[in-house]
Amino acid sequence: MTTPILIAIGGNSLIRHGQRGSIGEQIENARTTCRYLAALIKQGHSLIITHGNGPQVGAQLIRSEMASSQVYPLPLDCCDASTQGEIGYILQNALRTELNALKIVRSIVTILTQVVVSKDDPAFQHPTKPIGPFMSQKTAEMRKQELGWHIVDDAARGYRRVVPSPKPIDIVELDAIKHCMDDGMIVIAVGGGGIPVVHDQKNYSGIEAVIDKDRASALLAGKLGLKKFIISTDTDRVYLNFKQPDQVALDKITLAEAKQYLENRQFPPGSMGPKMEAAAEFIVHGGEEVIITKPELLVDAVNGKAGTHIYRN
């Protein structure tokens, strides 16, 4: 068995652009993504899997708000916990189905994961993390007026609600994740960036936010001592001047180049920006390689034939 690889799956890989996001659609999309994960496992790779929850946690929060006159409402941290279980269940079943087709027997476990943040993080005053469905400008303005939502135009695809996204500091269930990894299990953890909690003396309490899953994944990969970290997203690689006539694809770049591009504001804060920041942080803290690509190219990317590869030098 090779050294484990951490793969962070974007929440939008389970709900594709233009889809309503039904459970049936999510299961089918998960099967597609897990087909490529299973192919990596067949090659001998051991995986730690994390995932986003932007569309799902936004939908869960809308359900809670709309039904608040009938049942107790859920704070955002509980919505994070709920979607961890929901998506973990979908991914576990999808991956088991794909492994069964390849006649591979492996234990798969989802670990409900709490991630420590600071209650004084400035992100609580400046929400940036998009969640929930895309909206028209008219609907967005109505939600902003009626519900006090913070709204942004997200990568020219529509308008979305944004919530605080504090920096992850520590992972409460790290030992449990490591024990499962060392026992050869496929671990699904830090779902949706983890449940945000603050540490007060010896206790933890939830706080309303959504942690960026790539930053939390980079933290987990670093604390597990992994050398390779993969971010699976909705584009084949990273681009400069994305979607502009002069866009440039990045195949192999150094940590210094990644930092320079970030400094030049090449990557939007609610989209590729956190991914590149997470990549840089992982390498700064001992990682050797970060790959950014879409699910269909995962196998080729691990074999050096696709995606953007970021190295220390």
Specify the pLDDT at position 81.
96
Other beta carbons within 10 angstroms of residue 291's beta carbon come to: 23
pLDDT band for 44, please (50, 70, 90 cuts). Answer: very high
- Of the candidates 191, 129, 199, which has an alpha carbon nearest to the alpha carbon of residue 166? 129
Q: Buried (b) or exposed (e) across 119-149, using 16+ Cβ within 10 A?
A: eebebbeebbbbbbbbbeeeebeebeeeeeb
What's the gap between Cα 89 and its chain centre? 16
Q: Are 72 and 148 in contact (CB under 8 A)?
A: no
- Amino acid occupying residue 285: H
Query: SS3 of 248, please?
Result: strand
- Of the candidates 210, 174, 188, 249, which has an alpha carbon nearest to the alpha carbon of residue 81? 210
Specify the pLDDT at position 147.
74
Indicate which residues carry an active-site annotation: 11-12, 129, 213, 275
pLDDT band for 131, please (50, 70, 90 cuts). Answer: confident
Q: Report the alpha-carbon distance of residue 233 to residue 292 in Å, rounded.
A: 7
Full-prediction pTM beyond 0.95?
no
Q: Are 283 and 311 in contact (CB under 8 A)?
A: yes
Q: Which residues pair with 48 in a beta bridge?
A: 6, 187
Q: Which segments of the chain are extended strands (E)?
A: 5-9, 47-51, 108-110, 114-116, 129-135, 150-153, 159-163, 170-171, 186-188, 195-200, 203-206, 228-232, 238-240, 248-250, 252-254, 289-293, 308-311
Q: Strands 108-110, 252-254: parallel, antiparallel or unpaired by DSSP?
A: unpaired
pLDDT band for 121, please (50, 70, 90 cuts). Answer: very high
> Domain 5-55+62-114+172-311 is in which class?
alpha beta
Specify the pLDDT at position 270.
63
pLDDT band for 153, please (50, 70, 90 cuts). Answer: confident
Q: Domain ranges for the chain, please list them.
A: 5-55+62-114+172-311
Q: pLDDT, tens digit, for every residue of 260-278?
A: 999 999 997 767 888 999 9
With a cut of 90, say whether residue 136 has pLDDT above it. Answer: no
Q: Report the alpha-carbon distance of residue 212 to residue 219 in Å, rounded.
A: 11
Q: Buried (b) or exposed (e) across 209-229, using 16+ Cβ within 10 A?
A: bbbbbbbbbbbbbbebebebb
Specify the pLDDT at position 156.
65
Q: Report the alpha-carbon distance of residue 192 to residue 158 in Å, rounded.
A: 22
Pick from 17-21, 171-175, 229-233: least confident: 17-21
Give the contacts of 280 (CB within 8 A, at least 6 positions apart): 255, 258, 259, 262, 310
Q: What are phi and psi of 241, to 5 degrees?
A: 55, 50
Q: Report the alpha-carbon distance of residue 249 to residue 237 in Å, rounded.
A: 7
50-74 mean pLDDT: 88
Q: Report the alpha-carbon distance of residue 233 to residue 28 in Å, rounded.
A: 17
283-295 mean pLDDT: 95
Q: Are 50 and 224 in contact (CB under 8 A)?
A: no
What's the Cα-to-Cα distance from 150 to each of 10, 131, 140, 260, rounded to whole Å? 22, 11, 9, 30
Pick from 16-20, 30-34, 101-105, 272-276: least confident: 16-20
